[in-house]
Structure 1
């Protein structure tokens, strides 16, 4: 049974996707703060970088957007009298101060601004409108050739001239009635954007993708969802209206209003899964574990047998652990919304057939992921390399801040290293003639290390200069390794 659980209040809206009682995805939107993906802005070129075949564009955000030359081609074709294969370098297409209408491809992250494009798309439930591209594309998840031909023929007749569409998986088996209705709605949306372009100024928001509830209804709710449960009456009514308008058989899906006093995320065990998915280590039912570490460049996943000693031979135990880990890795990538390059270090396997089984399990479970993934199989080093498209923010963004002590390294300065820093500073202080007493405030582990190893040396060192030292752990700043106070 597949369920969508929606929790909403004055501060945020959260949606969880459950498959057979297991949490598979978490979507969060805070009031006044949503993803920028899909937003369309009026931009102004701030800088052109020929060596990078790109430009930085001011779209009214804290950091300039990054526009790669290949993401300019649709704009070039329609507005600069070029062609899609135009080999002109970006410095001949854009100059500083040019006004460009841009859509956000990926949110800003770290020190990087948003990636932007002129390949505009307006998404719907059954199709994605491409207002400046006449191509018709069909989701690869629609496998049946006769259905693909039916959809292609149908859409070639109803799509306005000069526009194109991406036919989504949800369109499979649907009638022309649904497509015409949605196509009219999406074309109207683009026409509204086109009107705004004429009177807009740099940084103006021309189009904003819908709220998280609407996105869940549009992108997730379909024939494979059995039940929607929501704890807000207004949102409940909104969902009933939406499902009634877009579903051919409403009776197949239950829509229920949750009214119990216990929080809906606590009731369905979702909060517990969120807290578990914020930890580096996830334990498997077989006794093994996976360790997930996210860096700026990639996501590293290590599989361990842990307590799984098995009842079979070593190779069978390893394969069983790896197959279970493959399923959990696919799930954790979805829950945590991890993206970019992913490197998986499965437990070493000697038999090629066993490696194929593990890859098959990984591919099977990733097939359920709506976000595009690509597995590049085992490398020569025995690692599985894969990618997952960046969509929205990772789960950790909503629940975790950088540690002020370690600044994101996951490690804090060792006690001996802190003592060495203190001694280095003391060597400078002894040169000050007016100072009589030096007070050091530090953490307990550092004080213990000083008392155990360094105290005699420090006292002897300070005695020559006639200075006294006092070390305490009281009233210290928890964000500092140590603090030195001087008294005359």
Structure 2
């Protein structure tokens, strides 16, 4: 059974996709965190950089947004020059102070501002309207030639000539009535955006993508979903109304209100799956395991046989582990929303057909992923390279932060290294004739370590220089693993 489980509270909205009782995707929106991806703004040009073929735009956010010239061509063609396939440099198209409509395609990340475009997309449940385009695109997940032809013909008859449409996977087998109703709705939305542009100020939002619950219903709730269960009555009726407007009546019967004293995520084991999704180590049913680690440049996934010793021979054990790992990796990428460059180190296989089998399994499982991905075959080093488009934030961002002790490196200085730092400082201070007493305050762990091996040496060293040494535990912070220390000098 495939289910969508939605939890609503005063502070956040969360949705979980369960496929065969396994947590596969997770969506979250916290009230204090504004999601801006997909939003459309009225922007003012703050700076034009000819050398980078780009411009920085003021959209009212903390950092200016980044617009590359290739993301400006649709706007130039429709609203400025009217020339198709223009190659004019950006400094001839935009000047500081100009105002244009832009849509966020990448949210701000680190020191980088948002990435924006003028290739606008207004998504519906079955169709995506492209106001600055005129062609029709069809989801690659719709494979049947007859169905693709039917959909293209139907949309071509009802779409405005100057606008384009992307036909989504959910449109498969839907009637013209669904499409007519949605085209009318999306075109009206775009007309409202254009009208708002004329009377709004730079930095104002002209269009805001739907909230997390509505996006989940729009993008995830499909014929493959057996139930959608939500624990909030008000939002339950909102979903029923949305489904009634855009979907078949059969969808309405799948929406259910959860009424119990137990938390909905505990009832459906979402909480347990969520905790496991934040661990580096992921155990496989066969006894093997994955190690998933994120770096600034890429995601690395290491596959290990672990407790899987096999029943016949080593090669079969390796292939069995790798196949199960491929299935689990596809799920973990969706669940953790990992993106960018992904390097997978499967256990070494000697036979080429075994490698092909593992890559084929990985590819088949990733077909369920709504986010675009691309698998590259085994490299000469025996690694599988793949990419996954960045969309939204990784799961860990909502539940984890870098360790304040190691700053996210996963390691801290050893006790021996810290003691050597302390002794270097004491040696420098010991050469100052004006200092008469040195007080050293450390954590309980460092205190015991110094008393065992170093106290006599430090005391003797300072005594030769007529200095008193006092060692004490730092009562401000007595955590066992805290290796902070404080040196106080007295005249």
2:435 maps to which residue?
435
1:127 aligns with 2:127: yes
Identify the residue that residue 54 of structure 2 maps to in structure 1: 54
User: Conserved in 1, the CA contact under 8 Å of 2:45 and 2:57?
Assistant: yes
Structure 1 residue aligned with 2:379: 379
Paired residue secondary structure (1:206): strand
State how 1:149-228 maps to structure 2 within 5 Å: 149-228=149-228
Which has the larger displacement, 253-262 or 286-295?
A: 253-262
Alignment check: 8 A CA contact 2:444 2:474 kept: no
Taking the TM superposition and a 5 Å limit, the aligned residue runs for 1:17-416 are: 17-81=17-81, 83-250=83-250, 253-416=253-416
How many angstroms does 1:390 deviate by?
1.1
1:481 equivalent in alignment to 2:464: no
The reply on whether 1:470 has 2:462 as its aligned counterpart is no
Q: Distance in 2 between matches of 1:85 and 1:454?
A: 75
Secondary structure at the aligned position of 1:178 is classed as helix
Preserved contact between residue 40 and residue 101 of structure 1 (Cα < 8 Å): yes
Contact 1:435 1:467 in 2 (8 A): yes
- CA deviation string 1:101-138 (max 9, x = no partner): 21110111222221111111110000000111112111
Name whichever of 42-51 and 363-372 sits farther off: 42-51
Q: Please identify, of 473-482 and 107-116, the stretch whose mean Cα deviation from structure 2 is larger.
A: 473-482
What are the superposed Cα offsets for residues 322-346 of structure 1, whole Å, 9 maximum, x if unpaired? 1111111111111111111111111
Measure the CA separation in 2 of the matches of 1:218 and 1:119.
21
Contact 2:415 2:483 in 1 (8 A): no
Provide Cα deviations, 1:16-48, integer angstroms capped at 9, x if missing partner: 000111110110011142421101112222333
More displaced 10-residue stretch of structure 1: 48-57 or 133-142: 48-57
Gaps of 5+ in 1: none
TM-score by length of 2: 0.95
In the TM superposition, residue 247 of structure 1 has moved relative to its aligned partner by 2.4
Q: Bigger CA drift: 410-419 or 371-380?
A: 410-419
Shift of 1:93: 2.5
Q: Deviations over 1:282-333 (max 9, x none)?
A: 1111111101111121111111111111112111100100111111111111
- Distance change in 2, residues 1:428/1:196 (3 Å): farther
Are the counterparts in 2 of residues 416 and 446 from structure 1 also a CA contact under 8 Å?
no
CA contact (8 A) 2:243 2:251 kept: no
Would the alpha carbon gap of residues 483 and 132 (structure 1) be closer, same or farther in structure 2, given more than 3 Å must change? same
**Which stretch has the larger CA shift, 31-40 or 119-128?**
31-40
After superposition, the CA RMSD in angstroms is 1.8
Q: 1:446 to 1:46 in 2, by over 3 A?
A: farther
2:143 alignment partner, SS class: coil
Structure 1 position 65, deviation (Å): 1.4
Distance 1:372 1:20 in 2: 23
Q: Distance in 2 between matches of 1:152 and 1:278?
A: 42
Secondary structure in structure 1 of the residue aligned to 2:73: helix
Are the aligned partners of 2:445 and 2:483 in contact in 1 as well (CA < 8 Å)? no
What CA deviation, in whole Å up to 9, does each residue of 1:165-223 have, x standing for no partner? 11101111111111111111111111111111112222111111001110011001111
Structure 1 stretch 87-96 or stretch 255-264: which is displaced more? Answer: 87-96
